Amino acid sequence: MNIYQELGLQRIINASGRMTALGVSVSAKETAESLKEASQQFVDISALMDAAGERIASYTGGEDACPTTGAAAGIAIAVAGCIAKGSIDITLRLPDSEGLPNEVIIQKGHCINFGAPVTQMIALGGGKPVEVGFANFTHENNLVETINENTAAIMYVKSHHCIQKGMLSLEKMIEIAKEANVPIIVDAAAEEDLEKYISNGADLVTYSGSKAIEGPVSGFITGRADLIASCKLQYNGIGRPMKIGKEGIIGLLTALDIYINKDIESIREEELKTLELIKNNIESIDGIHCSIEKDQAGRDIHRLRISIDQKKTGMNIYQLIDALTTGEISIRTRNHLANLGMIEIDPRPLLEGDAEEIINKFKRIFNHNE
């Protein structure tokens, strides 16, 4: 019985991805142990923030870094940092930014909801989101002509949630931002590459520590030293209700260390084997079709796609989802293609023994005995 089942909750098998609704990711044993150890000692927090920032920056190529509770806090704090520009007076009155340069320009196709709206996180930091372009298209001049003396920053969101066509590229936006001498903030919450956006010339980049990095609830902002100093200052203001504790910071550092040294290729190979195991065991069920598909956004991730023949099984895809999620063990698949009659199994979040549980559950649902 796991610690959540002791509370009367279902055991969750996450076959859907890094979902905040399911606890995002699980930590490696070393990360969990470092969290525990950090929670049992005192430390000078400001010195810890500085030391952690230095360590994080060594992984990103940024001049410095500021730990956060996540990428959402990273957006709010980065915006506040760009508005305050190191001023304690401004820091103490944000998110009230009246009379100050506070406009944060963002392309319409980037105004996503990742679980909360990006524009709301901008407002939380005292920014006034100014949307440019159209849902499916931005012209260079839409951005150029919107920059004025009230512009505090330009925001670029790198996410599969964003419109992927017709948007200005990050390179173009950085070029325009540099020309206008306005800082550019990149939300790279779930991205795997920790150096790319800094090396492209972004001023601040924010990451989630619990997504690709698989750390505890945490995150960071990395980039220009003067702006990072202003971000750290925000913990005396709007950052306070988003404070990251000593445990979170240490857990993040341990997770980063593991992440940097990870052999992604062999992990991907293992994941493919897991998918093949599930496929080989459930495709013999009459009316079930399985295929292994590559990620649609072009990443090197494979997923098992499953569809069912309603005539043969007497069940439609929604009834299958329902059957998978109910009971003591709840299997959560990727369901955004359900309207097309398909569900997917993402191998990345599967824990030891999960693949066997999935196979058993399919056999039970379809009364399949061999």
Ligand X SMILES: *Cc1c(COP(=O)(O)O)cnc(C)c1O
- State yes or no: residue 104 binds ligand X (CB under 6 A): no
Instruction: State both tokens at 53.
Output: 């920032």
Among 59, 114, 235, 259, the residue binding ligand X under the rule CB under 6 A is: 114
- State yes or no: residue 208 binds ligand X (CB under 6 A): yes
- State yes or no: residue 168 binds ligand X (CB under 6 A): no
State the Cα–Cα distance between residues 209 and 205, nearest whole angstrom.
13
Q: Would you give the distance in Å from CA 116 to the centre of its chain?
A: 12
Among 17, 67, 70, 81, the residue binding ligand X under the rule CB under 6 A is: 70
Q: Of 110 and 128, which has the nearer Cβ to ligand X?
A: 110
Contact 9, 328 (CB under 8 A): no
Binding letters toward ligand X, positions 311-340, x by CB under 6 A: ------------------------------
Name the nearest CA neighbour of 221 among 64, 59, 49: 64
DSSP 284-318: TSTTEEEEEEE-TTS-S-EEEEEEE-HHHHS--HH
Cis previous bond, 347, omega within 30: no
Candidate ranges 36-44, 187-195, 267-275, 357-365; the one touching ligand X (CB under 6 A)? 187-195
- State yes or no: residue 72 binds ligand X (CB under 6 A): yes
Q: Of 25 and 281, which has the nearer Cβ to ligand X?
A: 25
C-beta neighbour count of 214 within 10 angstroms = 21
Q: Of 105 and 213, which has the nearer Cβ to ligand X?
A: 213
Give me the least distance between CB of 118 and ligand X, in Å please: 6
Number of amino acids touching ligand X (CB under 6 A): 14
Q: Of 191 and 354, which has the nearer Cβ to ligand X?
A: 191
Q: Which residues have CB under 8 Å from 330's CB, separation 6+?
A: 10, 11, 12, 13, 324
Among 176, 190, 204, 282, the residue binding ligand X under the rule CB under 6 A is: 190
Q: Of 72 and 153, which has the nearer Cβ to ligand X?
A: 72
Candidate ranges 5-13, 55-63, 68-76, 192-200; the one touching ligand X (CB under 6 A)? 68-76
State the Cα–Cα distance between residues 241 and 72, nearest whole angstrom.
13
Q: Of 21 and 225, which has the nearer Cβ to ligand X?
A: 21
Q: Where are the beta strands (DSSP E) in the chain?
A: 11-15, 64-68, 103-107, 128-132, 151-157, 184-187, 204-208, 219-223, 288-294, 302-308, 329-333, 342-345
The residues pairing with 185 across neighbouring beta strands, listed in sequence order, are: 155, 204
Give me the least distance between CB of 278 and ligand X, in Å please: 27
Name the nearest CA neighbour of 246 among 40, 28, 20, 4: 40
Give me the least distance between CB of 364 and ligand X, in Å please: 34
Residue nearest to ligand X (CB): 70
**Chain residues that interact with ligand X, rule: CB under 6 A:** 20, 70-72, 114, 157, 159, 161, 187, 189-190, 208, 210, 219
